[in-house]
């Protein structure tokens, strides 16, 4: 059954000093409730909607939405709505999503209470009360699953690994031997924590010889990792993901990296081994970071950039080679004129009878 959210609950949020600066109650009855949060076009009784435009406002009001959260630019305090509608104003819509939508989140209902009879749990594993363990889960010897953890079907937690309290491992997640996942984390399907790092060395026989990867991965508290990601175990020591850091889908962190706290990595982020990234950084989609690099705190890197050298100062960067964001925009704008410039230079050379001065490599490749 849908979870009903009442106006009184939202009023409590609005009264909280942490949220009151951007969520304000305007009017409505405490018992007015909503079972779903929906876009304005699907709004109606027993539903909540968020509106930022005049069109969205009209849709929600005409559909008799039960709870309406409107951006303050619509001046909701100056408007009249039916007494059946509970009205709130916000100055920050994304932040309001973050504090209101958890009231509707029924993720826990995806996981069957208790331990599924098909789960294979080693007798030496420590399983705390109130865990939810799905079908065909495998938990190895001496593994630790703390209270309130939820583990989806066909997930593997190997020997000596640990999963912290209230952490969610979705279906088909792999947590390698002795790796540690903290409290209140969420790891999405098909993600691997603790596969071997990519370590090989050429031998005298000209063959590649594997370097055993003997370290572990440590995921600190409140980390979220999207689907189809890979966090490799260290050669020695640990690969570490700092508290509160968030990864989108399809990200890769190589062995022995140290990722700081409260960073955000968009889809397709790759970082090579033994790189250190500070705290409060933001990386756009498809950013590639080289090995043995250090990146300072509060660095932002634009999408499709490549980082090949250490970044010592906080700031915003982009491009390849990496530049300040302002310089990168200028470089990108100038690149559209390169073909025209080449033609113009060629015409000038012909006019001056300087001949063809292309490089020998260019001539050979012609």
Kindly tell me the burial class for residue 337, based on how many C-beta atoms sit within 10 Å of its own C-beta (0-12, 13-18, 19 or more).
exposed
| Phi, psi for 67 (deg, rounded to 5) | -125, 130
Token pair of 194, please? 């603790």
Other Cβ atoms closer than 10 A to 360? 7
Contact assessment for residue 32 and residue 86, using Cβ atoms and an 8 Å cutoff: yes
3-state secondary structure of 307: strand
Quick one: which H or E segment has residue 230? Answer: strand 230-232
What span, in angstroms and rounded, lies between the C-alpha atoms of 61 and 86? 11
Phi, psi of 53 (to 5 degrees): -130, 165
Angle of helix 93-100 relative to helix 7-15, nearest 10 degrees?
A: 120
- Check if the beta carbon of residue 177 is closer than 8 Å to that of residue 193: no
Among candidates 293, 283, 209, which has minimal Cα distance to 250? 283
CA 83 to chain centre: 40
How many helices (DSSP H) and strands (DSSP E) are in the chain? 6, 40
In angstroms, the CA 185 to CA 200 distance is 32
Q: Which parts of the chain fold into alpha helices (H)?
A: 7-15, 54-62, 93-100, 325-335, 338-351, 360-364
SS3 state of residue 115: strand
- Label residue 313 exposed, middle or buried (CB < 10 Å: 0-12, 13-18, 19+): exposed
* Gap between the Cα atoms of 113 and 148, Å rounded: 10
CA distance 109 to 215: 35
- Annotated catalytic residue 255: yes
Among residues 188, 190, 255, 262, the one annotated as catalytic is 255
List, by residue number, the catalytic residues. 255
């Amino acid at each position: 059954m849908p979870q009903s959210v009442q106006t009184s609950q939202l009023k409590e949020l609005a009264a909280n000093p942490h949220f009151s600066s951007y969520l304000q109650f305007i009017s409505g009855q405490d018992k007015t409730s909503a079972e779903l949060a929906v876009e304005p076009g699907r709004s109606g009784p027993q539903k909540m909607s968020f509106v930022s435009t005049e069109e969205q406002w009209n849709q929600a009001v005409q559909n008799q939405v039960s709870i309406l959260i409107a951006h303050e630019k619509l001046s909701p305090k100056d408007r009249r709505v039916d007494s059946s509608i509970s009205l709130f104003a916000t100055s920050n819509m994304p932040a309001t999503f973050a504090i209101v939508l958890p009231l509707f989140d029924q993720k826990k209902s995806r996981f069957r209470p208790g331990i599924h009879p098909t789960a294979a749990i080693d007798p030496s594993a420590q399983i705390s009360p109130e865990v939810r363990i799905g079908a065909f889960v495998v938990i190895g010897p001496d593994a630790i699953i703390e209270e309130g953890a939820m583990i989806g079907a066909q997930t593997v937690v190997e020997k000596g690994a640990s999963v912290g309290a209230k952490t969610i491992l979705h279906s088909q997640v792999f947590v390698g031997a002795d790796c540690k996942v903290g409290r209140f984390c969420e790891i999405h399907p098909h993600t691997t924590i603790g596969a071997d790092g990519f370590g090989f060395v050429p031998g005298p026989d000209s063959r590649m010889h594997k370097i055993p990867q003997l370290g572990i991965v440590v995921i600190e508290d409140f980390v979220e990792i999207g689907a189809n990601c890979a966090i490799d175990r260290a050669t020695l020591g640990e690969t570490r993901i700092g508290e509160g850091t968030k990864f989108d889908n399809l990200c890769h962190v190589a062995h022995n990296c140290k990722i700081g706290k409260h960073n955000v990595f968009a889809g397709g982020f790759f970082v090579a081994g033994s790189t250190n990234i500070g705290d409060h950084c933001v990386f756009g989609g498809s950013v590639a970071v080289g090995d043995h690099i250090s990146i300072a705190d509060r660095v932002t890197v634009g999408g499709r950039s490549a980082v090949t050298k250490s970044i010592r100062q906080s700031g915003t960067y982009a491009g390849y080679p990496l530049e300040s964001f302002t310089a990168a925009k200028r470089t990108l704008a100038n690149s559209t004129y390169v073909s025209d410039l080449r033609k113009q230079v060629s015409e000038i050379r012909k006019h001056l009878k300087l001949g063809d001065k292309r490089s020998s490599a260019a001539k050979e490749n012609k």
